[in-house]
Structure 1
Amino acid sequence: MMFDRITRIAFGVASAFLMLLAFGLIAYAAYEVVRSLLIDRTDIGATLLEAVGYTVIAIAVFDVGKYLLEEEAIRGREMRQAAEARRSLTKFISTIAIAVFLEGLVAVFEAGKEDLRMMIYPTLLLFTGVALIIGLGIYQRLSAMVENEISDPESSKKTPKARTARGTA
């Protein structure tokens, strides 16, 4: 019981720290944009793209912190329904995939302006985002099938022909 409490506190502290870091990234991005506008008068486009990158990373970091807080610190390791766990994981992975896609797009714009040979990294980021979405789709499909079989054990005993006939009727 004491170890569980210590673990929850550790996850709570870690998630709060991650959230503070995310806010720090956003504040730094805003500072750089304002500084570029008022003081440097440098290429504002590059500064804005960099700020978008920091903001995207901050969103992903904040979501990781929120996930740790909700799933580990508040709820602990209690048993939940499979559908609830699937929804939670889907939301988490979706946020990470969006962050990867946005970071890939920012990197495409930056690399396209400088050197086309630098397009390998953004391309790999975009492929990673696609792989995350495909993996999430496969996970959802398989877990939904298992949930349906568990909730309706009679349907798993029927032959595929009977299920097909039932579906066409």
Structure 2
Amino acid sequence: MKMRGGFDWITKAVFALGGLLLMGIALGLMIYAPITLVRAFTQTEGLDVELFRSIGYLIVAIAVFDVAKYIFEEEVLSDDERRNAAETRRSLTKFGSTIVIAVLLESLVMTFEIAREKPAELVYPVFLMLAGTVLFLALAVFQRLSASTERMVQERDPEAAATPPKPSTRKRA
């Protein structure tokens, strides 16, 4: 990631700060979720909604942390300017999947809340569920198009096919 003018360290510092701030926010959500859960068990009503809400906080925290990790690894730690398309697709798919899950989970929470208090307004969680479904379908289209694009690039650029993927930092079981 060489930049003209030697400002590479400024760019890395900005991405590092952004990544660390996002990780801090994710950690805060991970701490807040169990607090919400404990508070829910002390109440007599609304336990089901609070359970789903705390799950939602954890899912969002994981998504935010994953984005922060990606930013940190790709923009701060990596000196490799050439990005592997398959790796980028996997990262974006994982992030998109987390967002879809969060949206659908929120629609479920809204359904429980509204069904109990204002059944006439159930149309709003239904719209949110439809939005989550559209996001899911868009993610599937993205997967399909990016996978076929990867194949075309590898056919046209033998060097791209010969480039080994970057080693994963995760240990697979």
User: What amino acid does structure 2 have at the position aligned with 1:4?
Assistant: D
Structure 1 or 2: more helix by fraction: 1
CA RMSD of the aligned region, Å? 2.5
* Aligned-partner SS, 1:78: coil
CA contact (8 A) 1:56 1:102 kept: no
Identify the residue that residue 31 of structure 1 maps to in structure 2. 35
Taking only the aligned residue pairs, the percentage that are identical comes to 45
Identify the residue that residue 113 of structure 2 maps to in structure 1. 110
Distance in 1 of aligned mates of 2:64 and 2:81 = 24
Identify the residue that residue 57 of structure 2 maps to in structure 1. 54
Which TM-score applies when normalising by structure 2?
Answer: 0.71
Which stretches of structure 1, 4 residues or more, deviate above 3 A after TM superposition?
35-38, 44-47
Matched, 1:8 2:18: no
Distance in 1 of aligned mates of 2:7 and 2:121 = 48
Which ranges in structure 1 are unaligned for 5 or more consecutive residues?
A: 154-169
| Larger of the two Rg values belongs to structure | 1
Identify the residue that residue 145 of structure 1 maps to in structure 2. 148
User: What amino acid does structure 2 have at the position aligned with 1:15?
Assistant: G
Distance in 2 of aligned mates of 1:109 and 1:18 = 30
CA contact (8 A) 2:22 2:65 kept: yes
CA contact (8 A) 1:49 1:110 kept: no
How many residue pairs were aligned?
151
Matched, 1:99 2:102: yes
Residue 125 of structure 1: which of 128, 136, 154 is its match?
Answer: 128
Q: Deviations over 1:132-154 (max 9, x none)?
A: 2211222222222222223335x
Q: Deviations over 1:99-133 (max 9, x none)?
A: 22222222222222221233333223222222222
